[in-house]
Amino acid sequence: MKKISSLLITIAGVITGGVAGFLASSKFSNKIIEKKDARIDKFVGYFNLLEQWMSIKEEGKAIASYFEKNGYYKIGLYGLGKIANHLLKELDGTDIQILFAIDARGERLNSDIVVYTPDDEIPKADVIVVTATFDYDNIKKTLEEKTDTQVISMDDVIYDLL
């Protein structure tokens, strides 16, 4: 009887351990899937933004016209990724001046533009354009706590010109 009881306890322990292991690995897998889904959403958003941007260029419209129309001649950028680099090139040679950039990782540009982190004192500008559109709401909230400069998304710029 003792042997059967010990065997049942051992079997119950193995089953419980297996179930606990399965649940732990399932939670880990779900986190990996959630991160991948977030990255997919981010890049789909960027693809759509760039697709619309190309449509604007094909129609002969200039991004600078959005800033001119709204009286934004001195702007700051938030985010120094691919979208920001395209915007810098697009605005080069226009009346729109990039005063500074803000980057959470503190990355630097190969230019004369001063780069701040979100923790730094943020200088005044006509507007700050968030090029990291996937996290716009959080970035806007953070910036609004540090500056009274209007904060807009690159999406606002592009979709206004369509």
3-state secondary structure the chain: CHHHHHHHHHHHHHHHHHHHHHHHHHHHHHHHHHHHHHHHHHHHHHHHHHHHHHHHHHCCCCHHHHHHHCCCCEEEEECCCHHHHHHHHHHCCCCCEEEEEECCCCCCCCCCCEEECCCCCCCCCCEEEECCHHHHHHHHHHHHCCCCCCEEEHHHHHHHHC
Query: pLDDT for 72-130, tens place per residue?
Result: 999 999 999 899 999 999 999 999 999 999 998 877 766 789 999 999 999 999 999 99
Which CATH number is 62-161's, of 3.40.50.720, 4.10.490.10, 1.10.3720.10, 1.20.1250.20? Answer: 3.40.50.720
Q: What's the pTM?
A: 0.81
